[in-house]
A and B are shown apart, each in its own frame.
Chain A
Amino acid sequence: MLTQALFRALDKKAIWLVAILIAVAVLVPASNLLLPNGHPLRLPNYAVPLFGKYLTFAMLALALDLVWGYCGILSLGHGAFFAIGGYAMGMYLMRQIGNRGVYANPILPDFMVFLNWKELPWYWYGFDNFWFAMLMVMLVPALLAFVFGFLAFRSRVTGVYLSIITQAMTYALLLAFFRNDMGFGGNNGLTDFKEILGAPISADTTRAALFAASAIALALAILVCSMVVNSKLGKVMIAVRDAESRTRFLGYRVEYVKLFAFVVSAVIAGIAGALYVPQVGIINPGEFEPSNSIEVVIWTAVGGRGTIIGPIIGAILVNVGKSYFTGAFPEFWLFALGALFVVTTLFLPKGIVGLIGQYRSLTTRREQHDRSAPAAPSPAEVESSADPQPKPAE
């Protein structure tokens, strides 16, 4: 049964994507570690965690695409799941510091020591164990998504309203994590990590391993996503996206479908966050900024929502652009980003993938994958386009 599902999921594009990612997971670390310094093909040290970061962003964009591109839920709070996963990983890494912190306290992280905390808060228990922490990386975002989604989808909060309250969620979490009393390091967040699973965190080999792990995690996420969207459930998700009330009248429990997609997506985002933290070396409440979550939306939109490959391309392209602009033309980064938002929404409703698709459909016959990509604007939006009123509950 599982193999069958796997086989269905593994249509050509997914196989290729996964294959490429596995190749990247092997080649990038190999080029960095094996080739001598100065070799033209050698990836410099700084590039490994940088590319690793792009991969985790790609994973986050993919997670958003699962709910937005396939299920029609525009979450403006996906950064929250990413950040929570990151915090769970950060807590593990903090506990790993042990008595190598500046105050040499074997249990308490430094920020608790100098704010005079006497003992570890209960929610920090267990995070010294890697597997427990990894469980939490998935469980906590899943739980938050479940509770939030259950309430929201059950009462049929849709469209704009849902977007706004997801934003409220991440904003509330931002404020909460800023508070020092929460015990997550306040605005400084968690940093100064020493090692992960016994390996020093800044060693080239660890970096390479983390990069490989990110690539493989992304590959797995692609597998999961394509499995989901190609399954019968995936078809229902697309139906929900395109005509929610019709799907409901057909007898589907729309809220459960949405809830499922939301929770899976949150877990993927959480894992992405967990891989992000050791590669950038810090997690702090800035990750909860509503603007970060909106940026994720634009990655997805630029690449092309409603496709598996789109968000990955979008996330990588936009972030490479960000790295480039903030270095080369610091003053113009926001102009470029702003223009990208406008141009994408006006001229590339289906993103880059859509553009390529359009180009190809002019020259060759329409390919099969185009069926799964949404026409722009999607039917649901055409329905309401006669009336710009936000779509109300049916």
Chain B
Amino acid sequence: MIGAAMTFSRLLATLVVLLGALLVPAHAQTADTTLSPLVDALAPGSFKDRETAIAALVATEDLRVVPLLQTLADGDLYVGKTDAKVVFITGSGATLGRIDPVTAAELGEVPKADLEKVKVNNGLRRVIRTAIGQLTLLSDDPATRRSAAQSILRDADPANLELLDSGISAEADPAILQVMQTARAVLTLKTDATLEDKTAALPLVSAIGGRDALTLLTAALANAPDELKPAIQASIDGLARDRAVWDAAQNVWYGISLGSVLLLAAIGLAITFGVMGVINMAHGEMVMLGAYTTFVVQETIRRYSPELFDYSLAIALPLAFLITALIGIAIERGIIRWLYGRALETLLATWGISLILQQSVRSIFGPTNRLVGNPSWMSGSFDLGGLSITWSRLWIVIFALVVFVTLLLVLKRTALGLQMRAVTQNRRMASAMGIRTPFVDAMTFGLGSGVAGLAGVALSQIDNVSPNLGQGYIIDSFMVVVFGGVGNLWGTFVGALTLGIANKFLEPYVGAVLGKILILVLIILFIQRRPRGLFALKGRSVEA
């Protein structure tokens, strides 16, 4: 898929070159013979030399430079090992087609070994971004102008001030104009412009808001004239105050997000442990199996129909549920049903199962991490006010809530749920009423395991998929269930969120390590106060 995209981008680049050469003669056009040596100068020497070469190319103001630089930034520009000629390449495999970046002429195919990539690093990518911004700020296409203005704003190089001024005078689109003016204000703060200019620029910069404005103003503070310093400082303070409020909100969000992960990991356990009384140490491995199911689904999709990749999780969810539920039922029928009433011995047996499952996965899939990708709708983040929220976390929070509510409904509104609760509250009585307790047991364990499998699909998006995945969550899950109160889904819900938020509020003050220790100690102490957890089941039903 990536390969296809790259070939496509190359094709596009070639087209742009052709268009640039044919259709935009109005723009500065350098003779091919002048441009070619400048292009070839990109390859030799160090990154510093390459930077100089780029500057020379930019100075020509030739639009053919834009696709060239873009290709370089993408790491797709090659140079011949013998003829030292810089070329675009087409195709893939052992031999590659070459295209002259200047004339767009085909240069014939050569073995891959004869070509070498023109190296690019972060510094160069930044230089290229600015260069492309400079070259395209006066472009006819509004979208291009807009991104050019944005890249100039990001790089904030005072040398671009003149260019920006000419851009502003020609700009008609108010949105782009605003970006340009903001960029101008940012640049002005960096130059030794007059005090009035700088004072006028200040509100514009502050208006960017958030962390970016803070960065710019803090940098500006250092070389600002003394008269301006109090004003800048005031803006910084104002922004910092906003930031503090947003940071607190952000922390709550992180807490909710961590809590939702804990909830997902623990909720299956709340059923097997909380409802059935089975201390299921293999719970973590069910989560792991769910994650590996996702891996297998994604692998299959990658191999046979890459276009379905964005639906991989939707396919993985029911599969993971089914697989782990079936394994859960098998474990219940094969082992656990012999151990009812010996809660502590289920702990040992399921621990043994967890070791076997772990080692099996290690034998089948290997001990190393497996690649599980984010579908596009789970990648990246968006801003909500001063909050930065990542899509993957948001979806996991939503998913956790959906799973929780569904489980509540299953337990409260379905026949199976009714039977489960009946068996939980009084097994003998339920049996006497004609409920097939063995069936209910198997279904309950299957449900708990299946939910763990669902959690695995979600966790594969944020954690590594390795045989050790489950181990990392099992202790936390038990803490959540015990803290929340056994036998009560709401307890697990509140427990998970409380622990998540408490953890996130401790972390900035005492660090992640000490924070975790403190949480554990607090749980231990809490259990002393309330030996049955936050939401203890009350009433005769639990009296043994």
Q: B-contacting residues of A (Cβ < 8 Å)?
A: 74, 148, 151-152, 154-161, 163-165, 167-169, 171-172, 175-176, 178-179, 290, 294, 297-298, 301, 331, 334-335, 337-342, 344-346, 349, 377, 381-394
Cα distance, A386 to B543, chains bound together (Å): 12
In the complex, which residues of chain A have a beta carbon less than 8 angstroms from the beta carbon of B542? 389, 392
Is B351 close to A, CB under 8 A? Answer: yes
Is B177 close to A, CB under 8 A? Answer: no
Q: List 28 A-B contacts (CB under 8 A).
A: A74-B344, A155-B528, A155-B529, A164-B478, A165-B523, A167-B478, A168-B524, A175-B513, A176-B517, A294-B348, A294-B351, A334-B355, A334-B356, A335-B360, A338-B359, A344-B348, A345-B339, A345-B352, A346-B349, A377-B342, A384-B341, A385-B342, A387-B428, A388-B278, A388-B343, A388-B427, A390-B277, A392-B542
Is B118 close to A, CB under 8 A? Answer: no
Q: Are A152 and B528 in contact (CB under 8 A)?
A: yes
Q: Are A160 and B344 in contact (CB under 8 A)?
A: yes
Q: How far is the CB of B240 from chain A (nearest CB, A)?
A: 30
Q: Are B352 and A341 in contact (CB under 8 A)?
A: yes
**Which of B97-105, B291-299, B306-314, B479-487 interfaces with chain A?**
B479-487
Q: Are A387 and B427 in contact (CB under 8 A)?
A: yes
Q: How far is the CB of A69 from chain B (nearest CB, A)?
A: 12
In the complex, which residues of chain A have a beta carbon less than 8 angstroms from the beta carbon of B513? 175, 178-179
Q: Are A338 and B348 in contact (CB under 8 A)?
A: no
Q: Are B335 and A171 in contact (CB under 8 A)?
A: no
In the complex, which residues of chain A have a beta carbon less than 8 angstroms from the beta carbon of B523? 165, 168
CB-nearest residue of chain A to B355: A338
In the complex, which residues of chain A have a beta carbon less than 8 angstroms from the beta carbon of B525? 151
The residue in A161, A294, A383, A392 that gathers the most chain B C-beta atoms within 10 A of its C-beta is: A392
Q: Are B341 and A331 in contact (CB under 8 A)?
A: no
Q: Are A337 and B531 in contact (CB under 8 A)?
A: no
The residue in A152, A298, A338, A393 that gathers the most chain B C-beta atoms within 10 A of its C-beta is: A338
* Contact A381 to B341, CB < 8 A, known contacts A164-B482, A179-B513, A392-B542: yes
Q: Which residue from B478, B486, B520, B527 sits with its C-beta under 8 Å from A157?
A: B527
CB-nearest residue of chain A to B356: A338
Is B345 close to A, CB under 8 A? Answer: yes
Is B206 close to A, CB under 8 A? Answer: no
Q: Are B339 and A156 in contact (CB under 8 A)?
A: no
Is B521 close to A, CB under 8 A? Answer: yes
In the complex, which residues of chain A have a beta carbon less than 8 angstroms from the beta carbon of B424? 388-389
Cα distance, A294 to B474, chains bound together (Å): 13
CB-nearest residue of chain B to A295: B351
Q: How far is the CB of A38 from chain B (nearest CB, A)?
A: 39
* Contact A386 to B354, CB < 8 A, known contacts A157-B531, A161-B531, A172-B520: no
Q: Are B524 and A169 in contact (CB under 8 A)?
A: yes
CB-nearest residue of chain B to A172: B520
Q: Which residue from A171, A349, A392, A393 sits with its C-beta under 8 Å from B475?
A: A171
Q: How far is the CB of B447 from chain A (nearest CB, A)?
A: 16
Q: Are B524 and A165 in contact (CB under 8 A)?
A: yes
Which B261-284 residues have a C-beta within 8 angstroms of A? 273, 276-279, 281
Cα distance, A155 to B521, chains bound together (Å): 16
Cα distance, A390 to B481, chains bound together (Å): 13
Q: How far is the CB of B539 from chain A (nearest CB, A)?
A: 11
Q: How far is the CB of B346 from chain A (nearest CB, A)?
A: 8
Q: Are A341 and B348 in contact (CB under 8 A)?
A: yes
Q: Are A342 and B335 in contact (CB under 8 A)?
A: yes
Q: Are A167 and B475 in contact (CB under 8 A)?
A: yes
Cα distance, A167 to B520, chains bound together (Å): 10
Cα distance, A294 to B355, chains bound together (Å): 12
Is B347 close to A, CB under 8 A? Answer: yes
Is B544 close to A, CB under 8 A? Answer: yes
Q: How far is the CB of B181 from chain A (nearest CB, A)?
A: 51
Q: A-contacting residues of B (Cβ < 8 Å)?
A: 273, 276-279, 281, 335, 338-349, 351-356, 358-360, 363, 424, 426-428, 475, 478-479, 482, 486-487, 513-514, 516-517, 520-521, 523-525, 527-529, 531-533, 541-544
Q: Which residue from A172, A339, A346 sits with its C-beta under 8 Å from B356?
A: A339
Cα distance, A168 to B514, chains bound together (Å): 14
* Contact A175 to B517, CB < 8 A, known contacts A155-B528, A290-B475, A342-B353: yes
CB-nearest residue of chain B to A349: B345
Q: How far is the CB of B364 from chain A (nearest CB, A)?
A: 12
In the complex, which residues of chain B have a beta carbon less than 8 angstroms from the beta carbon of A388? 276-278, 340-341, 343, 424, 427
Q: Are B531 and A385 in contact (CB under 8 A)?
A: no
Q: How far is the CB of B436 from chain A (nearest CB, A)?
A: 16
Q: Are B349 and A345 in contact (CB under 8 A)?
A: yes
In the complex, which residues of chain A have a beta carbon less than 8 angstroms from the beta carbon of B354? 338
Q: How far is the CB of A61 from chain B (nearest CB, A)?
A: 14
In the complex, which residues of chain A have a beta carbon less than 8 angstroms from the beta carbon of B478? 164, 167
Q: Are B351 and A341 in contact (CB under 8 A)?
A: yes
Q: Which residue from A156, A171, A390 sits with its C-beta under 8 Å from B486?
A: A390
Q: How far is the CB of A81 from chain B (nearest CB, A)?
A: 16
In the complex, which residues of chain A have a beta carbon less than 8 angstroms from the beta carbon of B277? 160, 388-390
The residue in B277, B360, B541 that gathers the most chain A C-beta atoms within 10 A of its C-beta is: B277
Q: Are A391 and B544 in contact (CB under 8 A)?
A: yes
Knowing that A161-B531, A331-B363, A338-B353 touch, tell me 8 more A-B residue pairs with CB under 8 angstroms: A161-B533, A165-B482, A168-B520, A175-B520, A341-B349, A391-B343, A391-B544, A392-B544
In the complex, which residues of chain A have a beta carbon less than 8 angstroms from the beta carbon of B486? 160, 390
Q: Which residue from A156, A381, A384, A387 sits with its C-beta under 8 Å from B531?
A: A156
Cα distance, A297 to B427, chains bound together (Å): 29
In the complex, which residues of chain A have a beta carbon less than 8 angstroms from the beta carbon of B520? 168-169, 171-172, 175
Q: How far is the CB of B219 from chain A (nearest CB, A)?
A: 34
Q: Which residue from A152, A339, A390 sits with its C-beta under 8 Å from B343?
A: A390
Q: Which residue from B348, B514, B532 sits with its C-beta under 8 Å from A301?
A: B348
Q: How far is the CB of B171 from chain A (nearest CB, A)?
A: 57
Cα distance, A386 to B517, chains bound together (Å): 38
In the complex, which residues of chain A have a beta carbon less than 8 angstroms from the beta carbon of B348? 294, 297-298, 301, 341, 344-345
In the complex, which residues of chain B have a beta carbon less than 8 angstroms from the beta carbon of A297? 348
Cα distance, A384 to B339, chains bound together (Å): 12
Q: Are A159 and B343 in contact (CB under 8 A)?
A: yes
Cα distance, A344 to B363, chains bound together (Å): 24
In the complex, which residues of chain A have a beta carbon less than 8 angstroms from the beta carbon of B479? 164, 168
The residue in B428, B478, B541, B544 that gathers the most chain A C-beta atoms within 10 A of its C-beta is: B544
Cα distance, A120 to B527, chains bound together (Å): 36
In the complex, which residues of chain B have a beta carbon less than 8 angstroms from the beta carbon of A172? 517, 520-521, 524
Q: Which residue from B338, B355, B533 sits with its C-beta under 8 Å from A346?
A: B338
Q: Are A382 and B531 in contact (CB under 8 A)?
A: no
In the complex, which residues of chain B have a beta carbon less than 8 angstroms from the beta carbon of A342? 335, 349, 352-353, 356
The residue in A161, A339, A385, A388 that gathers the most chain B C-beta atoms within 10 A of its C-beta is: A388
Q: Are A386 and B338 in contact (CB under 8 A)?
A: no
Q: How far is the CB of B307 from chain A (nearest CB, A)?
A: 39
Q: Are B335 and A386 in contact (CB under 8 A)?
A: no
Cα distance, A196 to B525, chains bound together (Å): 39
Cα distance, A157 to B531, chains bound together (Å): 5
CB-nearest residue of chain B to A378: B342
Q: Are A161 and B527 in contact (CB under 8 A)?
A: yes
